[in-house]
Amino acid sequence: MTDTIRWGILGPGSIAHKFAKGLAVIDDAELAAIGSRSLERANTFADAYGADARYGSYEELANDKNVDVIYVATPHPFHREHTLLCLEAGKAVLCEKPISINAQTTKEMVVAAQEKKLFLMEAMWTRFLPTLEKARQWIADGRIGEVRLVKADFGFRVGWNPESRLLDPNLGGGSLLDVGVYTISLANMIFGSAPNQVTGAAHLGDTGVDEQAGMVLGYPGGGLAVLCSAVRTSTPQEAHIIGTEGSIHIPDFWHSTTASLMVANEVVDQIDAPFQGSGYEYEAMEVHRCLRAGELESPVMPLQESIEVMEAADRLRGQWGFALPMERGMR
């Protein structure tokens, strides 16, 4: 490992811009290379963020010897293929959320990383925010007693474009895989377990994807999560973690900069933590820590938990009769 950790970005689209802004505030991070399906797009992105190497194919990026870790930022149906490409070339990978489209493909990615003894992590960036770190600490310190209920929602209204990533099933469209996974991942993290009951209802819209969904997950010990996701309906995007002695309120939970600890309806503690960069720096800093420590996965976002989120999503989509085109014949 060099003094700086040299990053490559695979798929310089919308989220890659935010990630690059996060990397820019980390002293020991270097954005070294960009790989796109188009050299022109790679050049434009590389010029904007000062990356030296730019490639018109993902293969060339994966094989760049001056790159330590690759951030896979393509739409989720391609995460498996692109992650395997990078692992095959000996690169550590931070893969955007959802880590893949279902549990089966996620397990293939995990096995490949383990066989190659390479680092892999789902970019569930919310978990690394200071607010979520503080919430975990409040819970561990017993400040809200035993956690009984998690309520979380993540919905927004996208304009109607059936060919957009959020609505086109060929690009992995639908609210559950785009934003519902944040709520499930949060609930699984808080309860420290996969759910043993999974039920939900969804509205499948004109393109066949779930435009909105409501989910109830039950956990060993009786904990419950009541969650919803949407891509055609704006929701408050809040999380409430409710225990026997108090509760935690996290406004804008998936990109939160504040959280409050409440006891008897009074705020008794609070964290205000403005981002240093775009907010994506925290997950990248965890990747740095793991790479320097020789850890192949992060204890904050373990691979088994990424699999368990996908298993819950599979069960929900199974209930809704919603398979993506590339999954037909797979399950």
Rounded CA-CA distance 41/46 in Å is: 8
Amino acid 23 reads L
Output the CA–CA distances (angstroms, integers) from residue 44 to 35, 39, 40, 68, in the order listed.
Answer: 11, 9, 6, 22
What phi and psi values does residue 127 have, to the nearest 5 degrees? -60, -25
Minimum distance between the CB of residue 199 and ligand NAP, rounded to whole angstroms? Answer: 24
Which one of 5, 6, 26, 36 is in contact with ligand NAP (CB under 6 A)?
36
Are residues 144 and 242 in contact, defined by beta-carbon separation less than 8 angstroms?
yes
22 is an interface residue for ligand NAP by CB under 6 A: no
Q: Cβ of residue 281: shortest distance to ligand NAP, in angstroms?
A: 13
Whole-angstrom distance, CA of residue 277 vs CA of residue 167 = 30
Note whether 219 binds ligand NAP by CB under 6 A: no
Interaction with ligand NAP in 74-103: which residues (CB under 6 A)?
74-76, 78, 96-97
14 binds ligand NAP (CB under 6 A): yes
DSSP 93-153: EEEESSSSSSHHHHHHHHHHHHHHT--EEEE-GGGGSHHHHHHHHHHHTTTT-SEEEEEEE
Q: Applying CB under 6 A, does 71 fall inside the site for ligand NAP? A: no
DSSP type of residue 326: G
73 touching ligand NAP, by CB under 6 A: yes
Which listed residue (6, 7, 9, 15) binds ligand NAP by CB under 6 A? 15
CB of 101 to ligand NAP, least distance (A): 9
Token pair in block for residue 23: 């990397």
User: Quick one: which of 1, 38, 192, 245 contacts ligand NAP (CB under 6 A)?
Assistant: 38
Q: Which stretch binds ligand NAP (CB under 6 A): 73-81, 155-163, 199-207, 266-274?
A: 73-81
For residue 243, which amino acid is it? G
Is 186 a binder of ligand NAP (CB under 6 A)?
no
Q: How many CA atoms lie within 13 A of 59 on its CB side?
A: 0
Applying CB under 6 A, the span of 10-18, 198-206, 291-299, 317-325 interacting with ligand NAP comes to 10-18
Give the count of beta carbons closer than 10 Å to the beta carbon of residue 25. 15
Q: Which stretch binds ligand NAP (CB under 6 A): 8-16, 83-91, 241-249, 297-305?
A: 8-16
How many residues make contact with ligand NAP (CB under 6 A)? 21
By CB under 6 A, name the binding residues for ligand NAP. 11-15, 36-38, 41, 73-76, 78, 96-97, 123, 125, 165, 171, 178
